[in-house]
Amino acid sequence: MKILVTGGAGFIGSNFIYYMLHSYPDIQITNLDKLTYAGNLENLAIVEKDSFLSSRYKFIKGDIADAGLIDRIMAEGFDAIINFAAESHVDRSIEDAGIFLKTNVLGTQNLLEGLKKHKIERFIQISTDEVYGSLGSEGKFTEHSPLMPNSPYSASKASADLICRAYFRTFHLPIIITRCSNNYGPYQFPEKLIPLFITNALEDLPLPLYGDGLNIRDWIHVEDHCRAIDLVLRKGREGEIYNIGGNCEKTNLEITRIILEKLNKPETLITFVKDRPGHDRRYAISMDKIEKELGWKPTFSFEVGIEKTINWYQENSWWWQKIKSGEYRKYYERRYGKIR
């Protein structure tokens, strides 16, 4: 199988590329990535250094918003496209929504036009549970829940999902949408909660916790997410949506305390900061559909997954220290104040 992965130098995309190349000796992957601040080819160093993996892997630097480039790449012929490419940080979308619309909406539409022209057999749109909006204290989102996004980021992802739905209905294209809960694991850019708090704790820096810290998220280890996408790619039904969750609801404050406890750091590092505008209170998604149709379940307990993740950041400080000493430091200090 020959696969075009967009956004493959990012967190989930790079983990997926490694998972697929490692799992299937007949897979060939082309990775198209713009290499924005969150795209990092060092995420795929393990692939580049392995001759068996690298012989089936190709990287192209480029933007999915470039329609001409997309047309030329797709003309090479692919069996499937998996679209991870997206601007994904809520805080950045609040500061500047324009790039989110360009990449997440117009970029997706370019890919769909290429799909239509070059008759590729399968297109997987990687989306998010944030498109559903915020839940109360009970219940879970299903694939039939209305889309009620509350941030420019989630609105751009909901828009892309609706464009995918329209292209499936109008042009009968082989499109499937997946919507996943919060991922964690190796190579996650340290602006997201878990890697930010792990790396800050390792450096004895404050852990900036929004509001009262009681916002609830469902957490899934990235390897479980990769297994789910693989199943959807091979066995999912065209035109369908599949929710992918970890069945692991925790408040941000719980996550923070777990990280501090495992690193033997004091809770005095917790610093409550002004809440994010429009901060959704709770996400939780039902996995009944993917479990019944495809037989998928998460395999990582949070206890095992967070231990493995913390160990990775401890053992790979070179990776995140390089990121946190660059342009990201200016962004962080603009949001949370000077790093001592």
Residue with tokens 């220290």: 321
**CATH numbers and ranges of domains, the chain:** 2-188+220-245+279-303 (3.40.50.720)
Helix ranges (H only) for 145-221 are 152-171, 193-202
Burial 290-313 (b: 16+ CB within 10 A, else e): beeebebebebebeebbeebbebb
pLDDT at position 339, please?
57
**Res 37: pLDDT:** 85
Give the separation between CA 259 and CA 105, rounded to whole angstroms.
35
Q: What is the 3-state secondary structure (H, E, C) of 62-76?
A: CCCCCHHHHHHHHCC
Show the CA angle centred on residue 8, arms to residues 277 and 290, nearest 5°: 75
Give me the pLDDT at residue 252, please.
97
Q: What backbone torsions phi and psi does residue 152 show, to the nearest 5 degrees? A: -55, -35
The pair of three-digit structure tokens given for residue 10, joined into one six-digit string: 């990012």
Q: Which pLDDT value is given to residue 260?
A: 98
Q: Which of 33, 63, 87, 130 is catalytic?
A: 130
Q: Phi and psi of 218, rounded to 5°?
A: -95, 130
Closest CA to 167 of 330, 79, 159: 159
Q: How far apart are CA 111 and CA 184, in angstroms?
A: 27
Q: What is the DSSP string of 177-213?
A: EEEE-EEESTT--TTSHHHHHHHHHHTT--EEEETTS
Neighbours of 15 (CB within 10 A): 24
Which one of 57, 153, 167, 313 is the catalytic residue? 153
Residues of the chain with pLDDT under 50: none
130 is catalytic: yes
3-state secondary structure of 251: strand
Q: What is the pLDDT of residue 327?
A: 66
153 is catalytic: yes
- State the catalytic residue, choosing from 33, 63, 87, 129: 129
Contact by Cβ (8 Å): 283, 132? yes
Report the distance separating Cα 183 and Cα 205, nearest Å: 23
Q: What is the model's pLDDT at position 340? A: 52
Q: Report yes or no: 30 and 58 within 8 Å, Cβ to Cβ.
A: yes
Parallel, antiparallel, or unpaired: how do β-strands 249-251 and 216-221 relate? antiparallel
